[in-house]
């Protein structure tokens, strides 16, 4: 298990990484005992596990204790308005639930902190691979104790692309496009240079993208709308990539 204390991290990143690591213990325990996992149906007809709900409860309690009064929104509990609405936690206790349910080790915990609507700190933790992606506004992006950057690849034949809409992918990218089942990890991977272009459906949920947006920006990446223009709000987010692919990326996949 990763050390909770990482180099150069602030007090708020310490709070976030500590909460993510502690929440991961229950998720890992249930992941290794999938035959005992209880599954219920969400109102939107997707699946949620008992482990997911326990992680949500733990993170809400842990972060509220560390910073009393902060507002929060979580995938499982919705919006909770605190005494200080200028700060808001954005939490996804288990991104990649369907992967998790099938024993596929590609899922993560995501925590972002917004100040007056802007993400200022972000953590995405993959407990299975023991990888902690984290960033703070103006301080760069990191994977565990190593600073990360988006890739500098710009030749079509070299690109690895991830998209939620495989039917809209150009034929030239058929062999190099993936759909992983975890937007949170895809965004972290783009920040680390493992993915070169990432497409998401517009109007993605806040908890799916908040942490990843800061990771990508602090790693030197760009956030674009479906036309390839810089986004004005997170609702416009459709394309994520490096600066060298800004003109090419909107033409590769029909978002």
| Domain residue extents for the chain | 11-148, 156-252
Four-way CATH pick for 156-252: 1.10.3720.10, 3.90.1150.10, 3.40.190.80, 3.20.20.70: 3.40.190.80
Q: What is the per-residue pLDDT across 162-187, written as a single tens digit (0 to 9) for each? A: 987 655 556 566 567 888 999 999 99
Q: What is the per-residue pLDDT across 127-152, written as a single tens digit (0 to 9) for each? A: 999 999 999 999 999 999 999 999 99
Instruction: Return the pLDDT at 172.
Output: 60
Q: What is the pTM of this model?
A: 0.90
Q: Would you say domain 11-148 falls under CATH 3.30.540.10?
A: yes
Q: How far apart are CA 115 and CA 86, in angstroms?
A: 6
Instruction: Return the pLDDT at 12.
Output: 95
Beta strand 70-74 pairing with 84-95: parallel
Write the DSSP assignment of 17-35 as a string of letters. Answer: HHHHHHHHHHHHHHHTTGG
């Amino acid at each position: 298990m990763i050390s909770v204390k990482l180099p150069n991290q602030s007090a708020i990143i310490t709070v976030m990484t500590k909460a993510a690591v502690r929440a991961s213990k229950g998720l890992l325990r249930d992941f290794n005992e999938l035959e005992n996992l209880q599954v219920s149906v969400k109102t939107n007809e997707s699946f949620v596990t008992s482990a997911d709900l326990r992680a949500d409860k733990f993170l809400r309690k842990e972060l509220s204790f560390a910073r009393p009064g902060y507002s929060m929104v979580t995938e499982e509990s919705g919006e909770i308005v605190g005494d200080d609405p200028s700060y808001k936690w954005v939490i996804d206790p288990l991104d990649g639930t369907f992967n998790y349910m099938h024993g596929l080790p590609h899922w993560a915990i995501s925590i972002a902190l917004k100040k007056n609507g802007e993400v200022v700190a972000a953590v995405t933790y993959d407990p299975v691979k023991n990888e902690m992606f984290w960033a703070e506004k103006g301080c760069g992006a990191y994977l565990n104790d190593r600073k990360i950057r988006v890739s500098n690849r710009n030749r079509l034949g070299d690109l690895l692309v991830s998209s939620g809409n495989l039917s809209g992918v150009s034929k030239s990218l058929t062999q190099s496009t993936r759909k992983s089942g975890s937007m949170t990890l895809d965004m972290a991977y783009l920040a680390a240079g493992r993915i070169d272009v990432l497409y998401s459906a517009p109007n993605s949920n806040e908890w799916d993208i908040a942490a990843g947006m800061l990771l990508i920006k602090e790693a030197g990446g760009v956030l674009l709308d479906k036309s390839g223009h810089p986004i004005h709000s997170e609702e416009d987010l459709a394309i994520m990539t490096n600066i060298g692919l800004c003109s090419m990326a909107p033409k590769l996949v029909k978002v």
